[in-house]
Every structure is written in structure tokens, then in C-alpha cells.
Copies of this chain bind each other. A is one copy, B any other.
Amino acid sequence: MALTIGEIAKRAGIGLETVRFYERKGLIEEPPRTDSGYRQYPEDVVARLRFISRAKDLGFSLKEIAELFSLRVDPDTTCADIKRRAEAKITTIEEKIRDMQGIQGALSKLAASCSGSGPAGDCPILEALDSQEKDW
């Protein structure tokens, strides 16, 4: 039972333009067509689209997801290869978290230095942004 692009998009919970976009990006295969040119998707493409959504939720870019698929297809790929990818991703995410925490700490410090009264001209936050030194 083949599905139309609208059906498959609905089942995967994404827009149908997005399905075509993923096709152009090589994330899903080009499906067979009807005589009139309509795409005819096998049902398991829904699972693939959900895989993409889940991987995106885990912070993988579309490019990385495409790599994941090609790894999976390659018979020489091992479980360890996949694990390495996941661990590399964990590392970059941890780095991002640390960066964000640094930013958050600096901003909190700045916000704390501001009494919240008086004109903006005297605001210690803007002054800190103006000053040459950044001690944050």
C-alpha cells in the first residue's frame, strides 16, 4: 500500500514540502511514481522520517543524519563506529553547554551589578559593555 506525499508527511508529523526537501538533500530515496508522476511511498519511509526527526531532536544536523544513514548501509560499519559518532556529538554538545554557562554566568554577574534604578546612561551593564576590559 503506497502512500502519497501528503499522507506520509502527515504520518511523520512534518510538512510535505519538508519531505521533498529531504529528498533533494538525499535523506530519503526518490520513491517510485505513478503514471501521472505522483510519488508513491512505501510505508517504512514514515519510520525513516521519524528517525530524522528524532536525530534532529538529539542535536544532529541533516548532514550528520545523512552520514548516519550511509554508515548504516555500509556493511563494514560496526556498532563501534556509530558509538563513536554519538560520543563525538556528546562532546560537542558538552562544549556548547559549557559555553552557554559561561555566557549565563557573565550576564548574571552584569545583571546583579545593576541596581535597576536610575537612567540608562549610568547603567553598569552598558558600562561593562563599553569598557575595554572584559573581566567576565
Contacts and interface: CB of A to CB of B under 8 A. Distances in A.
B93 A125 contact: no
Given A72-B126, A83-B116, A90-B107, 11 more contacts: A51-B129, A68-B129, A72-B121, A77-B120, A79-B120, A79-B122, A82-B126, A86-B125, A90-B104, A93-B107, A100-B100
A interface SS class: helix
A34 B134 CA distance: 34
Nearest to A110: B86
Given A83-B111, A111-B86, A130-B51, A59 B103 contact: yes
Given A97-B100, A101-B97, A123 B55 contact: no
